[in-house]
Chain A
Amino acid sequence: EPEVTQTPSHQVTQMGQEVILRCVPISNHLYFYWYRQILGQKVEFLVSFYNNEISEKSEIFDDQFSVERPDGSNFTLKIRSTKLEDSAMYFCASTMLGGDTEAFFGQGTRLTVV
């Protein structure tokens, strides 16, 4: 069964460092998303991406965040200068079409900023 894969599963970084979280969406999917879950809090929408552009972003997705599809398979989330409060589980998701009712999620990357 096709699945969304994320790497690494856990990343520890020092405050102020840049991190790149990687995702490989399902191969024939066209729409990509990042969500995050701070420990003990809700899963929150960050950004959606289609046709090499951001479709929608939340208030959380400020200038320190960026997304990219550097090649035909990877979808990345970059955090430029990490803060302690960026520590969270980050989930990547994809849908074939923008109107799909089901999003397929990866297993998540746990980011710990120290």
Chain B
Amino acid sequence: GEDVEQSLFLSVREGDSSVINCTYTDSSSTYLYWYKQEPGAGLQLLTYIFSNMDMKQDQRLTVLLNKKDKHLSLRIADTQTGDSAIYFCAESRTGTASKLTFGTGTRLQVTL
């Protein structure tokens, strides 16, 4: 079955760049997502990338997709304390949000 793996924890200093990595197994994945969860809040969609793209940039966020290696990364430039949260990678084979396969989430801690 589909599987999505992430490292559990990342600590960065405020102002540095954060890179959160994700690997997935399903070569039929059509959309790949990054969700953010702040304490006590739901899963908020940050960005997504279609599988025929290599890169997507949205303000401080850059998503890189290496389809050959089934590797997805999220880069946050100029990381702020407000970026501290859990970041979930997710994939969808159907190309819709109807059935997402999530990773375990990476807890990003931003220190001063």
B contact residues vs A (CB 8 Å cutoff): 4, 31, 35, 40-45, 48, 88, 90, 92, 95-105
Chain A, 92-112, contact with B by CB distance < 8 Å: what is the 0/1 string?
010100111111111110000
Residues of B within 8 A of A48 (CB): 98-99
* B48 surroundings in chain A (CB, below 8 A): 101-102
Which A residues touch B41, using CB under 8 A? 107
Number of A positions contacting B (CB below 8 A): 30
A65 at the interface (CB under 8 A from B): no
Q: Is the CB of A93 within 8 A of B102?
A: no
A31:B102 contact, CB within 8 angstroms: no
18 pairs, A vs B, C-beta closer than 8 Å? A4-B42, A35-B100, A42-B4, A43-B43, A43-B102, A48-B98, A55-B98, A56-B98, A95-B96, A99-B96, A100-B96, A100-B97, A101-B31, A101-B96, A101-B97, A104-B45, A106-B42, A108-B42
